[in-house]
Amino acid sequence: MDPYPARFTGRIPVATARAAGEGLEPGDEADGQVAVAGRLVARRGQGKTVFADIEDRSGRMQVWATLDRLGPDGLALIAEAHLGDIIGVRGAVVRTRRGEVSVAAASVDMLAKALRPPPDRHAGLRDPETRYRQRYLDLMASEEVREQFVTRARAIAGVRRFLDDRGFIEVETPALQPIYGGAAARPFVTHHNELGRDLYLRIATELYLKRCLVGGLDKVYEIGKDFRNEGVSFKHNPEFTMLETYEAYADYEDVARMLEEMVSQAAREATGGFVVPWKGGEIDLTPPWRRVRLVDALREASGIDVLEHPDAADLRARMREAGLDAPDDAPWPKLVDGILSQALEPTLVQPTILMDYPLELSPFAKRRADDRRLVERFEAFCGGMEIANAFSELNDPDDQRERFAMLQADRAAGDDEAQPADEDFLVALEHGMPPTGGLGLGIDRLVMLLTDRHSIREVILFPAMRT
């Protein structure tokens, strides 16, 4: 017997086979035969009769194996199979005297022998380390975990459908970049042997997607992995999935409306509604979301008006007065971000859009005409996490050049997350980029919200672990 045969023909999902037996009375047998296959998850031996449960993605089904129908070799195969083996069964659909729709096995095939045992059927797999490192065991042991990742796929499909329906085109831009940019983060560095030079794994797709806008693609999006060389936490994985969209002739308020609709549609496709459970309460994603100016929200949460403390040392002192952590080497934008993350972000459970950020925090956003210290930018928060970031994109190449210079000053002042200037991108801007509304949406965090999971590791199949 080959324990790993190449094929098993004619298979149907067990849910389909079960449906064929729904109308049967106990003791009845349907006409014809079906072929089903799946992992052996339980077996109840009775000597010359064996009951076995097999499971595929569609569900679970009982196999009724008797010496009369199978003969000694076939019965031995199923009687001696291990839990975890993948077997194929052909036979009539019946309803047993106890009322269970089953396949009365006429033949049994070993399709894949398992050499290692599956997790305990009743206790499941609880050790979080094994769950993450050997996710296949977690999936094998838990229908709920399998469903978790189906929900993730549905949410992403919902986002894609939403954007495709609105005329966006999906594009792919380089993950290996000669210079990184588009976010404040430290990159991973890798090396190209033939070119003899270091390359960076992207920390964002922003600067390449904007090049697409310069070229006239007008409405583009990319869903893909970004890589940030930072610590891991309940909401950080070094590689994570990001959506970025750019729409010509839109501004950040247009983008805010699109975000609300997109997220609520994804929620409906993934979970069936706009209201999702969250940490014992619920989050209502129904548009419109609350909007508040960032500086007002910061003042309400911390008592600090950041625009009244434009000097880093001054702001640092004020923060410490208020009991907030303010590192000595942090430049002004980092300090403002510190107030946001410490005092404000955890309070933003219901969806909230914070509008109008200080220019220093936002090197790619267009200034507000009415207040040159602020830019047309929002971030959306939900469940105490940032989930999205959007601007009216800066398309003035001279202003952009100045912003890069500011970043270099931050870098010199000790901010190792400040990104280098990208001359090639500036050349692209000099060719003219239309006024554009851009958006970044953290897909992993969105999935956390939609599935009431409080660790990013629960929504990433194979999260980063120490080796």
Partner RNA sequence: GGGCCGUUAGCUCAGUUGGUCAGAGCAGGGGACUUUUAAUCCCAAGGUCCUGGGUUCGAAUCCCAGACGGCCCA
Q: Does 455 bind RNA (CB under 7 A)?
A: yes
Q: What is the DSSP string of 35-46?
A: EEEEEEEEEEE-
CB contact at 8 A, 390 and 252: yes
Q: Give 92 or 212: the residue with its C-beta nearer to RNA.
A: 92
Question: Does residue number 124 form part of the binding site for RNA (CB under 7 A)?
Answer: yes
* Minimum CB distance to RNA smaller for 24 or for 324: 324
Which among 116-124, 158-166, 214-222, 259-267 is the span making contact with RNA, rule CB under 7 A? 116-124
Residue 34 CA, chain-centre distance (Å), reads 38
Question: With binding defined as CB under 7 A, does residue 82 bind RNA?
Answer: yes
Identify which range of 111-119, 201-209, 303-311, 388-396 contacts RNA by CB under 7 A.
111-119
Q: Taking the CB of residue 237, how many other CB atoms lie within 10 A of it? A: 22
User: Please, which of residues 334-393 interact with RNA by CB under 7 A?
Assistant: 342
Q: Which of 7, 97, 191, 197 binds RNA (CB under 7 A)?
A: 97
- The yes or no reply on residue 128 touching RNA (CB under 7 A) is yes
Q: How far is the CB of 417 from RNA (least distance, A)?
A: 15
Contact 386, 323 (CB under 8 A): no
Contact indicator for 107, 97 with CB cutoff of 8 Å: no
- Interface positions, 13-32, toward RNA (CB under 7 A): 27
Q: Do the beta carbons of residue 42 and residue 52 sit within 8 Å?
A: yes
What is the phi-psi region of residue 167: left when phi exceeds 0, alpha when psi lies from -120 to 50, beta otherwise? left
Q: Are 64 and 94 in contact (CB under 8 A)?
A: yes
Our CB check for RNA shows the closer of 57 and 121 to be 121
Binding of RNA by 227 (CB under 7 A): no
Judged by beta carbon, residue 118 or residue 358, the one nearer RNA is 118
**How far lies 193's CA from each of 174, 196, 202, in Å?**
18, 5, 18
Tokens of 459: 């929504």
Is the CB of 68 or the CB of 423 nearer to RNA?
A: 68
Neighbour count for residue 115 (Cβ, 10 Å): 8
The yes or no reply on residue 290 touching RNA (CB under 7 A) is: no
Task: Determine if 132 is a binding residue for RNA (CB under 7 A).
Answer: yes
Among positions 22, 127, 144, 423, the unique one binding RNA when judged by CB under 7 A = 127
Out of 28, 68, 321, 423, the only residue in the binding site for RNA (CB under 7 A) is 68
Q: Which residues pair with 50 in a beta bridge?
A: 45, 65
Helix axes 332-339, 294-302, angle to 10 degrees: 70
Residue from 8, 64, 168, 391 touching RNA (CB under 7 A): that is 64
In this chain, which stretch among 7-15, 76-84, 348-356, 428-436 interacts with RNA, using CB under 7 A?
A: 76-84
Question: Is the distance from CB of 59 to CB of 14 less than 8 angstroms?
Answer: yes
CB 81 within 8 A of CB 42: no
**Please, which residue, 27 or 432, has the CB nearer to RNA?**
27
Peptide bond into 434 cis (omega under 30): no
CB of 248 to RNA, least distance (A): 38
Select the residue interacting with RNA from 12, 19, 20, 42 (CB under 7 A).
42
State yes or no: residue 113 binds RNA (CB under 7 A).
Answer: no
Minimum distance from residue 80 beta carbon to RNA (Å): 6
Dihedral angle, C-alpha 73, 74, 79, 84, nearest 10 °: 120
Residue nearer to RNA on the CB measure, 43 or 377? 43
Q: How far is CA 369 from the centre of its chain?
A: 36
96 near RNA (CB under 7 A): yes
Residue 467 CB neighbour total at 10 angstroms = 4
Structure tokens at 299: 């003042």
Q: What are phi and psi of 322, to 5 degrees?
A: -85, 5
| Nearer Cβ to RNA (104/267) | 104
Is residue 431 involved in binding RNA (CB under 7 A)?
no
**Residue 229 within binding range of RNA, rule CB under 7 A:** no
| Nearest approach, Cβ of residue 125 and RNA (Å) | 5
CB closer to RNA out of 234 and 249: 234
Q: Nearer Cβ to RNA, position 362 or 451?
A: 451
The piece of 48-56, 298-306, 355-363, 404-412 that touches RNA (CB under 7 A) is 48-56
| H-run or E-run covering 64 | strand 59-66
